[in-house]
């Protein structure tokens, strides 16, 4: 049984695959999450074993012998003595405990700035989005789906909570999940404060500061759970934002051709929620004492045959959100089910997920990526056990 609000581990801790790739000019080149393109970061998980140090006895016998030699010698008849035993080695300090797979890298919160809002700045408003109910929403286990299509609630419910349309192989050496970013340069605030500069575009080509860093944490978490995951770090929206989805479509197709074992393709973005007066909205929830950016899954619906497998993607979205809300209540906003395309025809496990908004800090988004990855690994592990 899971306890609400905390992580319950359900998988075998075996990382078997972790590599970040990018496609450039039709060639596969390495490019890490968290570093500049053209380099590789491998996220590996394992258990380092260190045996306890051998503990010896004290050197009391040696000390006694030295004391006897210092005493005055008496002229007595020689006596037969037993040979002295060899001294035991000195006691060594215990070995330092080895790190285990449960020890995750710490995510330090962003610096806090409590200063008053300077002139010309705009407010950043923390907001919590609860699960929807009533007209326009369909309940999905612990979560909900915002239905923006003409499909009836009954038709949607017929697909929700059904078994996944694919089977993820645990502890495989073949990639099962691809994480990529159509809008990789989307970025976040670097300081936690109640205001921001309206001139800040929330775009950054530094992969340690944009969506690549967020996707890297998700990939690390999945790999640590034995879900072989690769990440593409291509900046599809740079230098031109136009045509981003056409470029990411080609990237995904090249991966599927090279790695037919891939079942799931996750396009990781961040949202941008802004009021008419310029206020930037920051969707946030506190989980286990730490701020996390709320996330939202977007699942496209078929329009004139462009997404023939959309119901299977919807099934995946529903199951994933239910797992997130069961393990980490408040992490997920309602699933947006709308007539969107987003290259979701390429697999039956293709979804887009928004990791917070441009008012959140990068650290909040990375923490959410860890939680999202844990929920996804738990779902895949439960399905594999059935």
User: Sign (positive/negative) of CA torsion 170, 174, 176, 178?
Assistant: positive
Domain with CATH 3.40.630.40 in the chain: 18-48+115-385
Task: Give me the pLDDT at residue 162, please.
Answer: 85
Task: Give me the pLDDT at residue 55, please.
Answer: 30
Give CATH for domain 18-48+115-385.
3.40.630.40
**How many residues appear in the chain?**
386
Stated as kind and residue range, the H or E segment containing 28 is strand 27-30
Whether 177 and 262 have beta carbons less than 8 Å apart is answered as: yes
- Cα–Cα distance measured from residue 373 to residue 367, given in angstroms and rounded to the nearest whole number: 10
Nearest CA to 301 out of 265, 347, 364, 344 is that of 344
DSSP class per residue in 292-323: EE-EEEEEE--STTS-TTHHHHHHHHHHHHHH
Task: Give me the pLDDT at residue 91, please.
Answer: 52
Task: Give me the pLDDT at residue 386, please.
Answer: 85
Nearby residues of 229 by Cβ (< 8 Å), 6 or more positions away = 17, 18, 175, 176, 177, 178, 179, 218, 219, 222, 223
Nearby residues of 343 by Cβ (< 8 Å), 6 or more positions away = 182, 245, 248, 249, 252, 265, 267, 350
CA distances from 281 to 119, 194, 219, 361 (A): 19, 10, 27, 12
DSSP class per residue in 218-252: HHHHHHHTT--EEEE---TTSS-STTHHHHHHHHH
Stated as kind and residue range, the H or E segment containing 281 is strand 280-287
Classify residue 73 by its DSSP letter: P
- Cα–Cα distance measured from residue 141 to residue 334, given in angstroms and rounded to the nearest whole number: 12
Whether 161 and 140 have beta carbons less than 8 Å apart is answered as: yes
Per-residue pLDDT of the chain (386 residues; tens, 9 = 90+): 333 444 443 333 343 464 444 433 333 333 333 333 333 333 333 322 222 333 333 334 434 544 444 444 444 344 344 444 555 545 554 544 544 555 789 999 999 999 999 999 999 999 999 999 999 999 989 999 999 999 999 999 999 878 999 999 999 999 999 999 999 999 999 999 999 999 999 999 999 999 999 999 999 999 999 999 999 999 999 999 999 999 999 999 999 999 999 999 999 999 999 999 999 999 999 999 999 999 999 999 999 999 999 999 999 999 999 999 999 999 999 999 999 999 999 999 999 999 999 999 999 999 999 999 999 999 999 999 98
């Amino acid at each position: 049984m899971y306890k609400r609000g905390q992580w319950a581990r359900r998988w075998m801790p075996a990382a078997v695959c972790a590599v970040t790739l990018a496609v450039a000019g039709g060639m596969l080149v390495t490019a890490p999450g968290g570093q500049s393109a053209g380099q590789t970061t491998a996220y590996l998980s394992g258990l380092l074993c260190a045996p306890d140090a051998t503990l010896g006895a004290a050197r009391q016998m040696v000390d006694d012998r030295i004391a006897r030699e210092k005493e005055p010698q008496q002229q007595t008849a020689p006596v037969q003595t037993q040979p002295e035993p060899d001294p035991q080695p000195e006691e060594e300090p215990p070995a330092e405990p080895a790190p285990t797979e449960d020890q995750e890298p710490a995510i330090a919160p962003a610096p806090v700035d409590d200063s008053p809002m300077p002139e010309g700045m705009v407010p950043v408003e923390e907001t919590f989005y609860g699960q929807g109910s009533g007209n326009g929403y369909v309940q999905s286990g612990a979560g909900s789906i915002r239905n923006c299509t003409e499909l009836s609630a009954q038709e949607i419910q017929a697909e929700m909570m059904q078994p996944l349309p694919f089977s993820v192989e645990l502890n495989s050496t073949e990639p099962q999940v691809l994480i990529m970013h159509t809008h990789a340069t989307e970025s976040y605030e670097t300081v936690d404060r109640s205001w921001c500069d309206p001139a800040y575009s929330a775009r950054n080509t530094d992969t340690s500061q944009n969506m690549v860093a967020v996707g890297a944490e998700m990939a690390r978490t999945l790999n640590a759970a034995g879900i072989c995951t690769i990440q593409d770090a291509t900046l599809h929206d740079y230098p031109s934002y136009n045509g981003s989805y056409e470029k990411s479509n080609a990237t995904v197709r090249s991966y599927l051709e090279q790695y037919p074992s891939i079942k799931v393709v996750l396009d990781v973005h961040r949202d941008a929620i802004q009021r008419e007066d310029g206020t930037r909205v920051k969707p946030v929830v506190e989980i286990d004492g730490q701020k996390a950016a709320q996330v939202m899954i977007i699942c496209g619906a078929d329009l004139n045959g462009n997404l023939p497998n959309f119901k299977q993607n919807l099934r995946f979205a529903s199951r994933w959100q239910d797992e997130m809300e069961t393990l980490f209540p408040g992490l997920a906003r309602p699933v947006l089910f709308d007539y969107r395309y987003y290259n979701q025809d390429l697999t039956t496990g293709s979804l887009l997920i928004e990791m917070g908004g441009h008012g959140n800090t990068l650290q909040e988004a990375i923490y959410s990526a860890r939680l999202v990855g844990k929920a996804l690994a738990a779902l895949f592990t439960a399905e594999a056990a059935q």
